[in-house]
Amino acid sequence: MALYDVVIIGAGPAGMTAAIYAARANMSVLLLEKLAPGGQIINTHEIQNYTGVGTINGAELAYKMFEHTQELQVTFDYGTVKDIKEEGNIKIITCEEEKIFEAKTVILATGTIPRRLGVENEDRFAGENISWCAICDGAYYRDKDVVVIGGGNSAVEEAIYLASLANSVKVVTLFDLTADPVSCDELRALPNVTIYEFYNIEGFTGVEKLQGVRIKSTQTQEELELTCDGVFEYIGLKPSTEAFAALGILDEQGYIKVNSRMETSVAGIYGAGDVVTKELRQVVTACSDGAVAAQVASKYIKTI
């Protein structure tokens, strides 16, 4: 069994940047991912704030990042990590696919997954008429009516994209729109968009297929049913860290606790990207985390 200097779990912007920096530090690297490389940015129609790039499709940026790792001959493999254990200074990574890897250091960059509302009929229509990815499923709703749930950057940006396809877009948010002001202004200016602020989602209606969304005002207690063909939920994210709970490195919300050097409380294990405790979760900050983690891991290896 090969012993890697570093195994990087998660091939989003943080993981891929860590792989690039680790390879350039002459470390032997394994980049491990359970799905396609790119993480959440694969599902983003447009990224407009990644320095020096301008406007770019998320999947295109992900592909460019992965290409960069392959130019440096980073080893890539698929695997869903279920456990990490220590044997002296060596980390043993076990995957559900019955793959086992050994490493001197590990960088955890597993990112986040979308949260769900937990309301009536959500599970029934999930993956059918309720989606968490406009770039994946938006084309299905061309000239149809959709509801977008959420008021943050993801919700607003995806609602703008859906408005270019759908007949109508109704945006429902528990508070007001909290996305960046430029995007909010752009959304509000679209003629086929209606915004319902300060409404709670009560449930989804329909028998054979989704028919609508029941909402209730938190200010007036008014109840409405918005008829629609599809729903897109953007109500926040939760960290993908279940496999790391036994390491004792998670906070109460399940995020990985790290210091400014991306170090966890376990020597030789680092966190990077959206999965760590931090103030801002963006592509640029994920890349910064990955670069720091790789450099610190490189220095740590020289001490063991």
Long-range contacts of 63-66 (CB under 8 A, 24+ apart): 63/38, 65/13, 65/16, 65/17, 65/37, 65/38, 66/11, 66/16, 66/37, 66/38
Question: Is 40 in a helix, a strand, or coil?
Answer: helix
Q: Provide the token pair at 302.
A: 């020289």
As a whole number of Å, the CA-based R_g of the chain is: 21
Closest CA to 224 of 215, 236, 234: 215
Q: How far is CA 19 from the centre of its chain?
A: 18
| Enzyme catalytic residues | 133, 136-137
Q: Do the strands 237-239 and 90-95 form a parallel or antiparallel pair, or are they unpaired?
A: unpaired
